[in-house]
Structure 1
Amino acid sequence: MEIGISTFLEATPDPVTGAAISHAERLRNAVEEIVLADQVGLDVYGIGEHHRPDYAGSAPAVVLAAAAAMTKRIRLTSAVTVLSSDDPVRVYQAFATLDGISNGRAEIMAGRGSFIESFPLFGYSLDDYDELFEEKLELLLQIRASEKVTWRGKHRPPIQHLGVYPRSVQNPLPVWIASGGNPESVVRAGQLGLPIALAIIGGMPERFAPLVELYKEAAARAGHNPDTLPIATHSHGFVADTTEQAAELFFPPTQAQMNVIGRERGWPPYTRETFDAARSLRGALYVGDPEYVAEKIVLLRKNLGVTRFFLHVNVGTMPHREVLRAIELLGTKVAPLVRQELARIEAKE
């Protein structure tokens, strides 16, 4: 069971003072977070790509590369790369470069993007939303499989027997499919035999069990062994020394940012009642002391069979020292408790 951190490199205004951290400071903080995550034994750190003022993560591979030479074992991934609006050649080159710097610890998590700012920025139409992803994923997988590429599609100039360099240390370079719960995305990942990462940020995680089964069934029908395919989930949360402290620290920035996104998407206001319900044992928020967060992760494993869990620590901007403390607790307290309990369960079985 791998446990790690995901972030969008939030640079949102402080809900009390209104002051916003600069993008430059948030980027430097991220490098410090990755180094600490490596030191405390976490398995993976992921950065999501966004192109808007409240997030600093428009170039995840660059930030991850800055930390790669300062870390030893932690895996470094996008979470996600908006493949639909990017060039698969450049995506592969960036992450193959990261793979070289980190000596084989890079991964790509490819998604269609739940935020759409990158489409007009790079000249793509939302009318082609699904078609762009399918075509570009096809090209990315062809590039990772072969040094020389011949390819033709609709949304990018053709490639005629050209090499793509550098090549990754890992062969093949890991590519995950990220999904917010779309059945078509889950089936696609299964058919291709690619690992799946499910974003679970609302409702009850156990309700994603049918999607996991759909993924495994699609993989089996396509001739892949579903038992060997990694399954990850990504959920918001925060760890502190006490559950009360975690809730009080995490609620204000979470409410502020969720209401910003909610106004864009027509969601109802995010209230303390919503927050408290979500951090209950069966809810999608992993907020609490180490023992409580570990208990929720173990329950997630039982219900979905996940092999990797991402804790998205700061939904809105939080004090850097508190984020570092959460990462420390996740690595030194939560992860050992989860692994100890899973080992105990497996021994009984």
Structure 2
Amino acid sequence: MENTSGPTSVEFGLNTFGDITPGPDGQPKHAAQVIRDVVEEAVLADSIGIQAFGIGEHHRDDFAVSAPDMVLGAIASRTDNIKLGTAVTVLSSDDPLRVYERFATLDAVGNGRAEVIVGRGSFTESFPLFGYKLDDYNVLFEEKFEIFAETLKERPIRWRGTHRAPIEGAILTPATENGLSAWVGVGGSPESVLRSVRRGVPMMLAIIGGAPARFRPYVDLYQQAQKEQGVDPMPLGMHSPGHIAETDEKAREELWEPFRLNRIRIGRERGWPDPTYEDFVSEIEHGALFAGSPETVAQKIYENVRVLDVDRFDLKYANGMMPHEQMMNSIELYGTKVLPRVREMLSRAL
């Protein structure tokens, strides 16, 4: 089923993990400077009308941000309209009650602009860091997500499970003025889709490799499960990596080396083969990498918004050791060239 709700209903955002970036001398910047750069990137995004900005949580030396809510608080003080979110908050190694309280506080600071995307995360460093066992990976997420979904109702919480003491009528503070916006990040499994609907927390698809259209069966399951459970329609989002430059050739030239080095480092940790340039081009032309000129990226976003019937598209614009200046240019083009073109095409499709 295609999206027929109109162009104004589709939101567009940006995501970053706060990747460590190079300075003018080619050496890695200090993480503190990277964090300050992320704030500047969000300020630019707000100034050109991008609707949402998400920051991922990591606990390793190739990413600068371990506490997204703190960085988002700084961004809140310098922006007016952009939504302030995460991509993602690693709920399995956090306390869902504290997650709610932190983001309810951010919501107050940002005048109702906070949102949180909770998930398992694609890295596991936080488990040993905070004293959790990887053997408990599944039960921790299942139970903590259940608790987190209860916090969003903003009423006394009563819960019993296996990983912590019972919760007997807990009241969390501060309450939000209009509710806390939340999503659950899903990598693509039927169980995750059904969990999202069962708990009433909208799904954000993390599409980071392969053709996005292969996720269509999960979209169908998401829509069907809502009908079967008789719940109001829930929004659907997707998140994918990419980079925008003035031409396709320039975008590929700027992205290839940071992409290659990033994939090599992570891939060797996980037993993946090193990427080839042919793999890179294939991922741009047929897969989940949204890289190219404004027109090329706009066409690809439009096609996938329609195919997957999504209400929100987030571009992960930071991809490894890419200079801050190139990312700022990518953000500028995304907001001023790509999104107006996507909205024009969506409007014509009605």
Give the alignment's TM-score, normalised by structure 2: 0.94
CA distance in structure 2 between the partners assigned to 1:55 and 1:6 by the alignment:
13
Report deviation, 1:192: 2.6
Which residue pairs with 1:342 in the alignment? 346
In the alignment, which residue of structure 2 is the partner of 1:277? 282
Matches within 5 A, 1:17-166: 19-166=27-174
Q: Map Cα deviations across residues 235-258 of structure 1 (whole Å, 9 max, x no partner).
A: 110011111111100110011001
Matches within 5 A, 1:147-186: 147-171=155-179, 173-186=180-193
| Aligned 1:229-248 pairs, distance under 5 A | 229-248=234-253
In the alignment, is residue 214 of structure 1 matched against residue 226 of structure 2? no
1:18–1:323 distance in 2 versus 1, CA, 3 Å: closer
Give the equivalent residue in structure 2 for 1:256. Answer: 261
- CA deviations 1:68-100 (Å, max 9, x no partner) are 121111111111011011001110111001100
Q: Which amino acid in the other structure matches residue 19 of structure 2?
A: E
| Aligned counterpart, 2:200 | 193
Map Cα deviations across residues 273-315 of structure 1 (whole Å, 9 max, x no partner). 11111111x3211001111100000110121011111111121
Q: How many residue pairs align between the two structures?
A: 341
Distance 1:187 1:124 in 2: 26
Q: Which amino acid aligns with 1:267?
A: W
Q: What's the CA shift for 1:22? A: 1.2
Q: Is the 8 A contact 1:192 1:219 kept in 2?
A: no
Query: What is the alpha-carbon distance in structure 1 between the residues aligned to residue 244 and residue 196 of structure 2?
Result: 31
Q: Which residue of 1 aligns with 2:4?
A: none
Gaps of 5+ in 2: 1-9
Q: Contact 1:278–1:284 (CA<8 Å) still a contact in 2? A: yes
Q: Distance in 2 between matches of 1:215 and 1:57?
A: 31
**Structure 1 position 157, deviation (Å):** 2.6
What amino acid does structure 1 have at the position aligned with 2:267?
A: G
Residue in structure 2 matched with residue 7 of structure 1 by the alignment: 16
Tell me how large the CA RMSD over aligned residues is: 1.6
SS in structure 1 of the partner of residue 152 of structure 2: helix
| Contact map agreement 2:21 2:323 (CA 8 A) in 1 | no
Q: Which amino acid aligns with 1:292?
A: T
> Which whole-Å CA distance do the structure 2 matches of 1:170 and 1:129 have between them?
33
The structure, 1 or 2, with the larger RCO (C-alpha pairs under 8 Å, 6+ apart) is: 2
What letter corresponds to residue 8 of structure 1 in structure 2?
F
How big is each residue's C-alpha offset from its partner over 1:143-201, in whole Å with a ceiling of 9 and x where there is no partner?
A: 22134333332212333223211112332x12211011122111111223321111111
> Using the alignment, how far apart are the partners of 2:21 and 2:245 within structure 1?
21
Could you tell me which of 329, 332, 335 is aligned with 1:331? 335
What secondary structure is seen at the aligned counterpart in 2 of 1:113? Answer: coil
Is 1:293 aligned with 2:297? yes
Residue 221 (structure 1) shift: 1.5
Report the 3-state secondary structure (helix = DSSP H, G, I; strand = E; otherwise coil) of the residue aligned with 1:279. Answer: helix
Report deviation, 1:218: 1.6
The whole-number CA distance in structure 1 between the counterparts of 2:158 and 2:216 is 39
Q: Summarize deviations over 1:115-155 as a string: whole Å, max 9, x none.
A: 10011111111111111111111111222213433333221
Structure 2 CA distance for aligned equivalents of residues 12 and 36 of structure 1: 18
1:12 to partner: Cα distance: 5.6
Separation in structure 2 between the aligned mates of residue 278 and residue 187 of structure 1, nearest angstrom: 29
Q: Taking structure 1 as the reference length, what is the TM-score of the superposition?
A: 0.94
Q: CA 1:142 to 1:157, structure 2 compared with 1: closer, same or farther past 3 Å?
A: same
Shift in Å at residue 206 of structure 1?
Answer: 0.7
